[in-house]
Amino acid sequence: MREKATAEGRIPVYDKRCSHLEKPQIENLIKNGKHFTIRLKCPTDTSLVTDVVYGKIKMGLAQQDDAVLVKSDGTPTYHLAHPIDDHLMRITHVFRGEEWLPSTPKHLAVFRGLGWTPPKYVHLPLLFNKNRTKLSKRSGDVDVHSFIEKGYLPEAVINFVAYLGWTPKTSGKEVLSLDEMAEIFSLEELNRGNPIVNMDKLNWFNGKYISEHLSNPQTLEAIAKEMQPKIKEFLNLEEPPKLKDVINALFLSKDKLDVYMDICDVGDYFFKNPDTKISSEVEAAMIKVADKNQIIEIMRKVLYKLEKVNSEGFKFGELESNGKDKSANWGEISKEISRELGVKPSVVSLITRISLTGKKSGPGLNDLIAALGYETVVSRLNIFEKSINI
């Protein structure tokens, strides 16, 4: 039927071939075991649909088709199940994708036929990929479970999904709790345009929530304990990292994480020595600011200054029990070396950071040196100086 209509250039709707049958004919066909379906005799005056998002829409002939309500095996279709189920559950608003908009005249006809008041319909625009094609399972992992498996927090996913098609006008911020969203949500603020699923935005939301969680000492420790075996497995360590090291790594890197497991890349140096063979990108950044001899001079000066600071009882990030400041200050140390060698303090800091982490950026060196500890810092500085081969 559908193929014939398409071939003849007609809208593929039911041709009402059985609608002329008399009752005795129908009874005889059923008696002889003829399979049958139950169809909706769709009235022609249900073509005007009122939708919360799209307003009033005039539907065409194809949308007023005599749809199958019960299949030949006795199974009800969605066209019948939706009106009955939602009526019995006292549903007031039906939220569904815009692809169901053409079926709405049929559903309104069923509600009318059963003498029930239909709910309000809210058809939501379909989600699009960045290339403005329809989002589908073939596009990759698009279900909530896959997001959670990848390390996205439930509250971040909720916040992200809520903004796909909704633009609140009464909120001055984007990061909102579920209660806050419920308080300000308005159907009138739903958008007609197809939302773009931008994973960068999900990463941004997740990073905001991660930073918030890691700023709380209690949740920080709980998360660090949970991360210990995961870090061991991911980095192939012989033993789980010390809890203190994980706490320091997470706290100092909290604004750099899209998901918690990013710590194995962003802050791997908290758990193992960096590779002596640095990346070409990092090497290029180092060569740009200093030659081999300058780098060696800087390394030796840094080692000397740190050893001097340590011998005088100063510690990075520590105070004496009487409250007297005995904390070392990297800023002052880098300035001293800068004056003595005639290089910028930023160059001293970059070379030192690369030797300790193998990376161009990261936490402030005061915090980093305090977290790594004096012995580890000195050891890494010595290893790096011996390995320089530019």
Q: For the residues 259-285, what does the mean pLDDT come to?
A: 89
Instruction: Report pLDDT digits (tens) over 189-198.
Output: 999 999 998 9
User: Do 231 and 325 belong to one domain?
Assistant: no
Return the residue matching tokens 């402030």: 364
List the alpha helices (DSSP H) in the chain.
2-7, 23-31, 78-88, 104-113, 144-149, 154-162, 178-184, 199-214, 217-235, 243-252, 263-266, 280-289, 292-311, 330-341, 345-357, 365-372, 374-387
Domain stops at, among 79, 98, 124: 124
User: Do 170 and 228 belong to one domain?
Assistant: no
Lowest mean pLDDT among 37-46, 142-151, 308-317, 346-355: 308-317
pLDDT at res. 112: 92
Assess if residue 375 is contained within a domain.
yes
Domain stops at, among 124, 151, 166: 124
Instruction: Report pLDDT digits (tens) over 135-145.
Output: 776 655 567 88
> Is the distance from CB of 357 to CB of 256 less than 8 angstroms?
no
pLDDT at res. 290: 82
Number of structural domains found in the chain? 4
Instruction: Report pLDDT digits (tens) over 20-66.
Output: 888 888 888 888 888 888 988 878 776 788 999 999 988 765 566 78
User: Do 80 and 150 belong to one domain?
Assistant: no
User: Do 320 and 291 belong to one domain?
Assistant: yes
pLDDT at res. 323: 41
pLDDT at 380 over 80: yes
User: Do 48 and 90 belong to one domain?
Assistant: yes
Assess if residue 264 is contained within a domain.
yes
Q: For the residues 12-22, what does the mean pLDDT come to?
A: 76
Q: Which has more pLDDT, 336 or 13? A: 336
Lowest mean pLDDT among 190-199, 224-233, 311-320: 311-320
The reported pTM is: 0.81
Strand-pairing partners, residue 70, are 38, 76
User: Do 292 and 381 belong to one domain?
Assistant: yes
pLDDT at res. 281: 82
Mean pLDDT estimate for the chain: 87
Assess if residue 20 is contained within a domain.
no
CATH of the domain at 313: 1.10.10.350
User: Do 240 and 300 belong to one domain?
Assistant: no
pLDDT at 318 over 60: no
User: Do 330 and 287 belong to one domain?
Assistant: yes
> Is the distance from CB of 274 to CB of 358 less than 8 angstroms?
yes
CATH of the domain at 103: 3.40.50.620
Domain stops at, among 74, 91, 124: 124
pLDDT at res. 319: 39
**Closest residue by Cα to residue 38 from 89, 79, 90:** 79
CATH of the domain at 170: 1.10.1160.10
pLDDT above 70 covers a percentage of the chain that reads 89
Assess if residue 22 is contained within a domain.
no
Assess if residue 62 is contained within a domain.
yes
Name residue 245's amino acid: D
Return the residue matching tokens 């009526």: 87
User: Do 254 and 324 belong to one domain?
Assistant: no
User: Do 90 and 163 belong to one domain?
Assistant: no
For residues 267 and 145, give the distance between their C-alpha atoms in angstroms, rounded to a whole number.
27
Residue 213 zone, left/alpha/beta (φ > 0; ψ -120 to 50; rest): alpha
Assess if residue 7 is contained within a domain.
no
Assess if residue 3 is contained within a domain.
no
User: Do 296 and 378 belong to one domain?
Assistant: yes
- Domain with 90 in it: 37-124
Lowest mean pLDDT among 9-18, 102-111, 116-125: 9-18
> Is the distance from CB of 27 to CB of 20 less than 8 angstroms?
no
pLDDT at 300 over 50: yes
User: Do 147 and 242 belong to one domain?
Assistant: no
Assess if residue 149 is contained within a domain.
yes
Q: For the residues 242-250, what does the mean pLDDT come to?
A: 96
Instruction: Report pLDDT digits (tens) over 166-189.
Output: 988 887 889 999 999 999 999 999
Distances (CA, A) of 245 to 127, 251, 270, 373: 42, 10, 6, 10
